[in-house]
C-alpha cells in the first residue's frame, strides 16, 4: 500500500504538472484537474507494476502513456523518444551520419542501387549491384531495410565493416568504412527532351528551396535557351517542412502571392504565408533571387497521386488556385493539418497537430485532397485496383474532420475533366530505393515507361502549341 501510495502521489504530481502547463498554454488555469481520471491512471500504473507477467520499467510505462495520449488525438500527433526525435531531425535537415549508399532489397539481402558521390562508400569502391551480406558481424538476411539502415548509420568518425558479394568476383570482399556526415538532396532534375525540364521533389527538407533553385538554373543552362515548359513531380512526396512548401510555390508564383493560410486555437498557429522571402528563407540571401525570370510564366504541370501529402498538397493547391499550373494525376492523400514539433527536456519531442491549412481560395484539403485538373491513372494499375489499394487520410482512424463538413465532396464545385485512360498500360518503373529511409527514389524519369509523366509532357507541348498560335 505504501508503494502504491507513492506511485499515486508521483502520478498525481506528474499529471498535475502536465495539465497545469496545458492549462497555462490555453489560458484556462482555472479549469479543475480531472482527479478521478488521474486516480484511475495511478491505479492502472500500480497494477501493471505489481501483476504484469514480466517486470516493466517505469520509464517504459510513462513513455507509452504519453505516446498513447498523443496518438489518441489524431493519426499525426505523436511522442518521439530521444532516438526517434534525432532521426526525425536528420530527415528534415537532409543530413545524417552514414556511408552514402542508395539501397534496395534483393533475395533477402541489401542491394546497392548506387553509391552517393564523394562519400565513404564511393571512396571505398562500393559499386552499383553489390550485395551487402554482412554489416559488422550481423548477417543481413532476415533484416528489414530499416534495420540495415540503422546499423549502417551512426556517429561520424566511427567505423563499420561491410561484407560485400559482387557478381564478377568469386569471393566476398570485406570493406571497413568510416562514417561521415552524408548530405542528401531532396530535389532531382533532368531535361526530358530539348526545351522541357523535369523536377522531382521527394520530400520538403531544410535545403529543398536552395536545391530547387539550383536545379532550375542548371536546367536553363543545359538547355542553352529558355525552357518552354516544366514538370514538377510531387508524386509519393509525403510532405515535410511548411516553409519548404512556401518556397517551392514562391519559385513559380508572383511575389507576395498567397500560398497558404492556417487556422488553429493558439495565436501563433494563425498564419498567412505569402511568396515572400521571410516566409521561406532560412536566413541570409534569397535562394530564389537568381532564378530565370521566365520560370514564373512558362507552361507548367504538377504531377500528384495518392502518396502526395501535406506540404505537397500545399504546393499543388496554391499553383492550382492561382491557375499557374495544370495539376495532373490522381487525387492526393488529404492531409490538411499542420504539426508543430516541440522539443522536450529529455531530448525527445512531441509532434502535435496545431492547425488546419487552407489553399489561397479557402479550400480545406483535410480528408479530401487535391483533385487534379486532368485525371490520369497510373498506367500500371486498373482503376478498381487503385481504389482498393489506396489508403487516404479519410481512411485513418481518428482523422480530423474537414471543416467544411464533408470529407468526400469538394467544398465548392470543381471542374473535372474526363479521366485519361491508357490505351496500352505502361510497364512498371522499378523503384529499388523506395523502402530505404536513407534515400529517395532512384527512378529515372522516362516519359515512355511512365504513363502519367508522358501525359504531362504531352499537355505541356499542347500548351506551347496554343501559345505559338496565339502569338502568330
Bridge partners of residue 353, in order along the sequence: 339
Is the alpha carbon torsion for 96, 100, 104, 105 positive or negative?
negative
Q: Is the pLDDT of residue 81 over 50?
A: yes
Helix 242-250 with 311-321: angle, nearest 10 deg: 30
Straight-line distance from the first to the last Cα atom of the chain, in angstroms, rounded to the nearest whole number: 91
Q: Is the pLDDT of residue 424 over 50?
A: no
CB 8 within 8 A of CB 42: yes
Task: State the Cα–Cα distance between residues 193 and 288, nearest whole angstrom.
Answer: 24
Neighbours of 210 (CB within 10 A): 17
Q: Is the pLDDT of residue 1 over 70?
A: no
pLDDT at 413: 33
**pTM, rounded to two decimals:** 0.73
- The CATH topology of domain 96-183 is Pdz3 Domain (2.30.42)
Would you call 395 a catalytic residue per the annotation?
no
Summarised one tens digit per residue, pLDDT across range 238-255 is 888 899 999 999 999 999
pLDDT grade, residue 106 (50/70/90)? confident
327-352: b (≥16 Cβ within 10 Å) or e: bbbbbbbbbbbbbbeeeeeeebbbbb
Would you call 310 a catalytic residue per the annotation?
yes
Would you call 308 a catalytic residue per the annotation?
no
- The CATH topology of domain 187-405+446-471 is 2-enoyl-CoA Hydratase; Chain A, domain 1 (3.90.226)
Summarised one tens digit per residue, pLDDT across range 255-281 is 999 999 999 998 889 999 999 999 999
> Residues 190, 335, 351, 368: which is the catalytic one?
335
Q: What percent of the chain lies above the pLDDT cut of 70? A: 81
Q: Where exactly are the structural domains of the chain?
A: 96-183, 187-405+446-471
pLDDT at 380: 56
> Residues 249, 308, 310, 442: which is the catalytic one?
310
> Residues 233, 236, 321, 450: which is the catalytic one?
321
Q: Is the pLDDT of residue 431 over 50?
A: no
Task: State the Cα–Cα distance between residues 470 and 472, nearest whole angstrom.
Answer: 5
CB 133 within 8 A of CB 164: yes
Q: What is the mean pLDDT of the chain?
A: 81
Bridge partners of residue 164, in order along the sequence: 132, 173
- For residue 335, give the nearest of 322, 316, 360 by alpha carbon: 316
Amino acid at each position: 500500500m505504501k508503494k502504491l501510495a507513492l506511485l499515486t502521489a508521483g502520478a498525481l504530481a506528474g499529471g498535475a504538472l502536465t495539465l497545469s502547463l496545458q492549462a497555462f498554454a490555453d489560458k484556462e488555469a482555472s479549469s479543475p484537474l480531472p482527479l478521478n481520471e488521474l486516480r484511475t491512471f495511478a491505479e492502472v500504473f500500480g497494477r501493471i507494476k505489481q501483476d504484469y507477467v514480466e517486470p516493466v520499467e517505469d520509464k517504459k510505462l510513462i513513455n507509452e502513456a504519453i505516446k498513447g495520449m498523443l496518438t489518441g488525438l489524431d493519426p499525426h500527433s505523436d511522442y518521439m523518444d530521444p532516438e526517434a526525435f534525432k532521426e526525425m531531425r536528420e530527415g528534415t535537415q537532409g543530413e545524417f551520419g552514414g556511408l552514402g549508399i542508395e539501397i534496395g532489397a534483393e533475395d533477402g539481402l541489401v542491394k546497392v542501387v548506387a553509391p552517393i558521390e564523394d562519400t565513404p562508400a564511393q571512396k571505398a569502391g562500393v559499386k552499383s549491384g553489390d550485395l551487402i551480406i554482412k554489416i559488422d558481424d550481423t548477417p543481413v538476411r532476415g533484416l528489414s531495410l530499416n534495420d540495415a539502415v540503422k546499423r549502417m548509420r551512426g556517429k561520424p568518425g566511427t567505423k563499420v565493416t561491410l561484407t560485400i558479394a559482387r557478381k564478377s568476383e568469386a569471393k566476398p570482399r570485406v570493406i571497413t568504412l568510416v562514417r561521415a556526415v552524408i548530405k542528401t538532396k531532396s530535389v532531382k532534375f533532368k531535361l526530358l527532351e530539348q526545351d522541357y525540364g523535369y523536377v522531382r521533389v521527394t520530400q520538403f527538407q531544410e535545403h529543398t528551396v536552395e536545391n530547387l533553385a539550383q536545379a532550375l538554373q542548371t536546367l536553363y543552362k543545359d538547355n542553352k535557351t529558355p525552357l518552354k515548359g516544366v514538370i514538377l513531380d510531387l508524386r509519393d512526396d509525403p510532405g515535410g517542412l511548411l516553409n519548404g512548401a512556401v518556397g517551392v510555390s514562391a519559385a513559380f508564383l508572383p511575389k507576395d502571392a498567397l500560398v497558404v493560410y492556417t487556422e488553429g486555437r493558439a495565436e501563433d498557429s494563425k498564419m498567412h504565408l505569402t511568396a515572400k522571402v521571410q516566409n521561406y528563407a532560412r536566413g541570409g540571401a534569397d535562394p530564389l533571387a537568381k532564378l530565370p525570370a521566365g520560370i514564373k510564366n512558362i507552361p507548367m504541370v504538377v504531377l500528384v497521386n495518392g502518396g502526395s501529402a501535406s506540404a505537397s498538397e500545399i504546393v499543388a493547391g496554391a499553383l492550382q488556385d492561382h491557375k499557374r499550373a495544370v495539376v495532373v494525376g490522381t487525387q492526393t492523400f488529404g492531409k490538411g493539418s499542420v504539426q508543430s514539433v516541440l522539443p522536450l527536456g529529455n531530448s525527445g519531442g512531441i509532434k502535435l497537430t496545431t492547425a488546419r491549412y487552407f489553399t489561397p481560395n479557402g479550400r480545406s484539403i483535410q480528408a479530401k485532397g487535391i483533385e487534379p485538373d486532368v485525371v490520369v491513372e497510373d498506367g500500371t494499375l486498373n482503376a478498381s485496383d487503385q481504389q482498393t489499394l489506396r489508403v487516404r487520410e479519410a481512411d485513418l482512424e481518428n482523422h480530423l474532420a474537414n471543416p467544411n463538413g464533408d470529407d468526400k465532396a469538394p467544398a465548392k464545385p470543381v471542374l473535372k475533366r474526363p479521366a485519361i485512360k491508357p490505351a496500352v498500360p505502361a510497364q512498371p518503373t522499378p523503384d529499388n530505393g523506395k523502402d530505404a529511409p536513407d534515400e529517395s527514389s532512384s527512378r529515372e524519369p522516362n516519359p515512355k515507361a511512365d504513363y502519367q509523366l508522358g501525359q504531362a509532357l504531352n499537355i505541356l507541348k499542347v500548351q506551347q502549341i496554343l501559345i505559338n498560335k496565339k502569338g502568330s
